Structure 1
Amino acid sequence: MAHSNNSIVSGKFSGTLGKEIVFRDWDGKTVVAKAPKKRKGDPSAEQVEIQERFLLASRYARGVVKNPDQGMAEAYAANLRPRQNVYSRAVEDFMNSPEVKNINTRNYTGASGGKIVVRAVDDFRVVSVWVEIYAANGTLLEAGRTVQELNGLDWTFTASMANSTLAGSKIKAIATDVPGNEGTLEVSL
């Protein structure tokens, strides 16, 4: 890919030349690249799924940019990488789900008041973490929201019900990010 600083030769070109090369303006410079080729054949089921996901991501990003309340756009603007704009940052956030790294059950003994700490991360921001506690037979015992700790990574759930049969119980954590993507992790006790 060649770059130009708007020289005498390239001027302020933009568009396609002879279906072979493309001129684009990027960050105040003219970028010259090989023209993309048309796709042959129908897209696979996986490609269709990815295209639909990008369509949703694009709609989400446009909504962020055009929203009269620019709070979210300003938050994305504060987390831009070089040559990235708010739109592309919002698309990136939509395309990446949060990840639950671990569930710490050290302070959960099955008694009411026991604490479960969940570590969840995202490329932008985790907005909530939900915890579910299942008995060994698969019955949902308790579920609820967590409280974010000061470090911004950990979320604490305080049990309000006793779990007398701790062995074989399962803890499931579900982290949600700004666009509504979810990431989960489940551990057995």
Structure 2
Amino acid sequence: MAESKNNIVTHGLSGKVGDLLVFSQRNGKTIVSKAPKERTGELSDKQKAHKLKFQKAVLYAKSALADPVKNQMYGIKSDSSSGITTYNVAVADLLNAPDIEEIDLSNYSGNPGDLIKITATDDFQVISVTVKIENADGILVEEGNAVDNGAEWIYTATASNSDLAGDKITVHATDNPANITELTQNL
């Protein structure tokens, strides 16, 4: 890759030159790239869904920058030396839903006080995890919020559940932009 230093002709240049080149600024450097071609043809359903999701991410990032609390929160993760702005962090947060990596039921035997441990991660922050326990016939045993202990989320059972066969545990993890991930595990 060629690099031109201290070029007085291109320094600070930004915009499109005809249908050939695009100049942009990133971290104090001038980037030159080939001009994109206009899209022809109809978008697929997946492309439409992705475009809509990205539009929502842009709107979310703009509203996050206008909110002093969210702006500061996302600003902590920004890194101007690598070109990651507060805006970029907020967009990425909306585009990436949390992951529920594990539901540990080894300490759950249907008694009040039993623990269910959940490992949930996000590119920015998981803000809540809820647990719902249903019998095999779909009757709700209990549901509630898990507590973050720093390493994992812990749900403490409150109801007695004598017959665990076929029971279903459903976990929801939510992040700041309200992305929700669900994982169900059967006993």
Distance in structure 2 (CA, Å) of the matches to 1:103 and 1:83:
36
Aligned equivalent of 1:62: 62
Aligned equivalent of 1:86: 86
Give how far 1:11 is off.
3.7
Give how far 1:3 is off.
5.1
Distance in structure 2 (CA, Å) of the matches to 1:4 and 1:25:
14
Distance in structure 2 (CA, Å) of the matches to 1:107 and 1:139:
22
Does the aligned pair in 2 maintain the 1:4–1:29 contact within 8 Å?
Answer: no
After TM superposition, the structure 1 = structure 2 runs for residues 68-79 of structure 1, keeping only pairs within 5 Å, are: 70-79=68-77
Give how far 1:8 is off.
2.8
After TM superposition, the structure 1 = structure 2 runs for residues 177-188 of structure 1, keeping only pairs within 5 Å, are: 177-188=175-186
Distance in structure 2 (CA, Å) of the matches to 1:171 and 1:148:
18
Aligned equivalent of 2:127: 127
Distance in structure 2 (CA, Å) of the matches to 1:109 and 1:11:
67
Matched, 1:102 2:102: yes
Give how far 1:42 is off.
1.6
Distance in structure 2 (CA, Å) of the matches to 1:162 and 1:3:
69
Give how far 1:2 is off.
5.7
What is the one-letter code of the residue matched to 1:117? Answer: K
Aligned equivalent of 2:143: 143
Matched, 1:164 2:156: no
Pairs aligned (count): 185
TM-score normalised to structure 1 length: 0.92
**Could you say what secondary structure the match of 1:100 adopts?**
strand
Following superposition, which runs of at least 4 residues in structure 1 exceed 3 angstroms of deviation? Answer: 1-6
Structure 1 vs Structure 2 CA RMSD: 1.5
What is the one-letter code of the residue matched to 2:76? Answer: A
TM-score normalised to structure 2 length: 0.93
**Could you say what secondary structure the match of 2:32 adopts?**
strand
**Could you say what secondary structure the match of 1:10 adopts?**
coil
Distance in structure 2 (CA, Å) of the matches to 1:14 and 1:107:
60
Matched, 1:53 2:53: yes
Aligned equivalent of 1:153: 151
Give how far 1:136 is off.
1.4
**Could you say what secondary structure the match of 2:72 adopts?**
helix
Distance in structure 1 (CA, Å) of the matches to 2:185 and 2:151:
19
Distance in structure 2 (CA, Å) of the matches to 1:22 and 1:2:
16
Q: Which ranges in structure 1 are unaligned for 5 or more consecutive residues?
A: none
Give how far 1:4 is off.
4.4
